[in-house]
Amino acid sequence: MGKDGIKFPDNFLWGGATAANQYEGAWDVDGKGASVPDHMRGGDINTPRQIDVEFDPNALYPSHEATDFYHHYEEDIALFAEMGWNVFRMSINWARLFPTGEETEPNQAGLEFYDRVFDCLLAHGIQPLVTLSHYELPYHLAATYNGWADRRLVDLFLRYASCCLDRWHDKVKYWLTFNEINTGTMTMGCTLSLGTLKGFTGTMAEVRDDINERYNALHHQFLASAKVIKYAHETYPDLKMGNMDCFILSYAATCDPADQLANQDEMRRMNWYCSDVQVRGAYPSYARRFWDENGIKIKMQPGDEELLREGKIDFYTLSYYMSSVVGTHGDVEQGKGNMVMGGRNPYLEVSDWGWSIDSKGLRFSLNEIYDRYQIPLMVVENGFGAFDTVEEDGSIHDPYRIDYLRKHVRDMGEAIEDGVDLIGYTWWGPIDVVSAGTGEMRKRYGFIYVDKHDDGTGDLHRSRKDSFFYYKRLIASNGTELD
């Protein structure tokens, strides 16, 4: 037992997580097609991102260069190794392999890029953990098919995903199908997750939403995920296939039973609906009433229910950034949040972007999830977006990030002591990347600073922040050296 009673398992996975569209850049290089974020401009905390059908030559699209992992992967992976990582969560950009999503054969140059990345990782003793779809729908499928509202995407996704599994099954053991699939339960999900953008120009805040269409689009993602998992289990039985949910714990504002019921509803819709399907292989008992009361008719076809049963996940993964509050008395102040606005909790501090900081909520969430499903868990995103200042000597002091990390690791350790089977932790944006929500660069999560700014300037050089050295020490002690 280490300090503070924390003991992480010996084979615990420590690392970081990124997404191709926020990190790779090279958006049209070597045959890559555009994905949805490539059509999005930058915004900020008060200005929602604009989505363009046609590119405006005078506008800036932050994902086009991002922080250029495409041309810096060797340097970056060496830095990850220096921190002592044994896992790196990354995504494959669907449009790098299938530029429009419709091709029958993959783009060779795209395949070769990921060959090089995986080989480089493995040479450094870092295993890749791959998300097949992290907000990277080929834009063509959004613009002409209306994204996941079209059932044909199920088989297009299977073509893409099986190509990845066939090529890299011996290099990648852990796979996630859809990043934060539960964002599809919210209007917000129409953009990055479901891509129901046919003909749409406007901001993320204006995106049109039809709840029936949205829940059917989500149904198609469940089917696509299940098909890929079934294929993986039948073809490569050693692989571990996971989901990924954006877990936003909510607390009832008071002990008024009405608040408790409202919060139960929120927890089901936000956090349990998707994982109940993906872990248990069937829609939960509460779904029917929710559909009826919201005018949702899932277009269930013969074989769908069987497929969901056959495509259950092996391990559960989540992103965890914050928590929120739900009440019925109209006096809960609204705060900002990760993909969704939530009630503000007076007991918690918030980041510069208004996200609450709640490490105990992570412990609570891990216990709840593990009690419910009893399968291994992994925290594949957790992190703190902040303004960083580069000192004259080039150093970057980020005690706020270290503090956030320390608290969350401590509470993960507590959850393990509580009995949760937690197998890994990947910090979000361990190197500065473009923000998904706002498209900003100045909202930085990294332990590694990248000289890239909101106006597109910067020479992309990398430097280590104080948190880099802290995380290195933390990993070397397997989570026991927290102070």
Distance between alpha carbon 460 and the CA centroid of its chain, in Å? Answer: 24
In terms of CB distance, is 275 or 435 closer to ligand BG6? 435
Q: Which residue is nearest to ligand BG6 (CB)?
A: 437
The token duo for 197 is 């953008």
Long-range own/partner contacts, residues 456-461 (CB < 8 A, 24 or more apart):
456/60, 456/62, 456/65, 460/67, 460/68, 460/72
Closest distance between ligand BG6 and the C-beta of residue 385, in Å?
Answer: 5
The contact set with ligand BG6 (CB under 6 A) reads: 19, 22, 179-180, 246, 319, 338-339, 381, 385, 428, 435-438, 443
Closest distance between ligand BG6 and the C-beta of residue 213, in Å?
Answer: 22
In terms of CB distance, is 96 or 134 closer to ligand BG6? 134
In terms of CB distance, is 107 or 131 closer to ligand BG6? 131
| Enzyme catalytic residues | 180, 381
Report d(CA 121, CA 113) in Å as an integer: 13
Report d(CA 291, CA 284) in Å as an integer: 11
Q: What is the signed CA dihedral for 337, 340, 341, 343, rounded to 10 degrees?
A: -90
Looking at residue 422, its amino acid is L
Place of tokens 């349990």: 272
In terms of CB distance, is 172 or 339 closer to ligand BG6? 339
User: Do 271 and 182 form a contact (C-beta atoms < 8 A)?
Assistant: yes
CA-based torsion, 69, 75, 81, 86: positive or negative? positive
Strand 342-343 and strand 334-335: the pairing is antiparallel
* SS3 call for 90: strand
Closest distance between ligand BG6 and the C-beta of residue 379, in Å?
Answer: 12
In terms of CB distance, is 129 or 436 closer to ligand BG6? 436
User: Which stretches within 208-286 are classed as H helix?
Assistant: 211-235, 257-267, 273-280
Closest distance between ligand BG6 and the C-beta of residue 427, in Å?
Answer: 11
In terms of CB distance, is 430 or 437 closer to ligand BG6? 437
Closest distance between ligand BG6 and the C-beta of residue 322, in Å?
Answer: 10
Strand order in the sheet with 87-91: 240-242, 174-178, 127-133, 87-91, 13-17, 422-428, 377-381, 316-319, 245-246
Report d(CA 224, CA 232) in Å as an integer: 12
Closest distance between ligand BG6 and the C-beta of residue 205, in Å?
Answer: 14
